[in-house]
A and B are shown apart, each in its own frame.
Chain A
Amino acid sequence: MNSSNQAASTSFKAPDSSRLQLDEQGRLRHFLTTESLSKEILTEIMDVAESFSSVGNQAVKKVPVLRGKTIVNLFFENSTRTRTTFDLAAKRLSADVINLNIATSAASKGESVLDTIRTLEAMHADMFVVRHSDSGAAHFIAANVAPHVSVINAGDGSHAHPTQAMLDMFTIRRVKESFAELKVAIIGDILHSRVARSQIHALNTLGTKEVRVIAPKTLLPSDTDSLGVHVYADLRTGLKDVDVIIMLRLQRERMGGALLPSEHEYFECFGLTEEKLAYAKPDVMVMHPGPINRGVEMEAAVAEGPHSVILQQVANGIAVRMAVMTLTLGQNRAAS
Chain B
Amino acid sequence: MDKELTAIDIDEVIEAMADDLARYIKRKNMVDPLMIGVHTGGLWVAERLHQHLGLAKPLGEIDISFYRDDFTRIGLNPQVKPSHIPGEVESEHIILVDDVLFTGRTIRAALNEIFDYGRPDSVTLAVLVDRGARELPLHADIVGLKLDLSPEKQVKLTGPAPLALETNRN
Contacts and interface: CB of A to CB of B under 8 A. Distances in A.
A268 interface: no
B81 A51 contact: yes
B81 to A, nearest CB: 6
Interface in A44-60: 44, 47-48, 50-55, 57-60
Given A64-B112, A330-B75, A333-B72, A54 B82 contact: yes
B152 interface: no
A180 interface: no
A58 B78 contact: no
A333 B75 contact: yes
Contacts of A330: 71, 75-76
Nearest to B66: A63
Contact of A51 (B82, B90, B117): B82
A330 B78 CA distance: 10
Interface in A293-336: 326-327, 330-331, 333-334
B27 interface: no
A205 to B, nearest CB: 18
B84 interface: yes
Contacts of A50: 82
Contacts of B83: 51, 54
Contacts of A59: 89-90, 116-118
Nearest to A336: B72
A50 to B, nearest CB: 6
Nearest to B118: A59
Given A59-B117, A64-B112, A51 B63 contact: yes
B116 A63 contact: yes
A17 to B, nearest CB: 24
Contacts of A54: 82-84
B65 A51 contact: yes
A331 B75 contact: yes
Nearest to B90: A59
A260 interface: no
Contacts of A47: 78, 80
Band of interface residues on B = 20 to 34
Contacts of A58: 116-117
Contacts of A333: 71-73, 75
A327 to B, nearest CB: 6
A65 interface: yes
Contacts of A334: 73-75
A326 B76 contact: yes
Contacts of B74: 334
A66 to B, nearest CB: 8
Contacts of B67: 63-65
Contacts of B84: 54
A196 B90 CA distance: 45
A63 B71 CA distance: 12
Nearest to A59: B118
Contacts of A52: 66
Nearest to B88: A59
A48 B76 CA distance: 9
Contacts of B112: 64
Contacts of B118: 59
Contacts of B115: 60
A55 B67 CA distance: 12
Interface string A32-75: 00000000000010011011111101111011111000000000
Given A50-B82, A53-B82, A54-B84, A65 B66 contact: yes
Interface of B: 63, 65-68, 71-76, 78, 80-85, 89-90, 112-113, 115-118
Interface of A: 44, 47-48, 50-55, 57-60, 62-66, 326-327, 330-331, 333-334
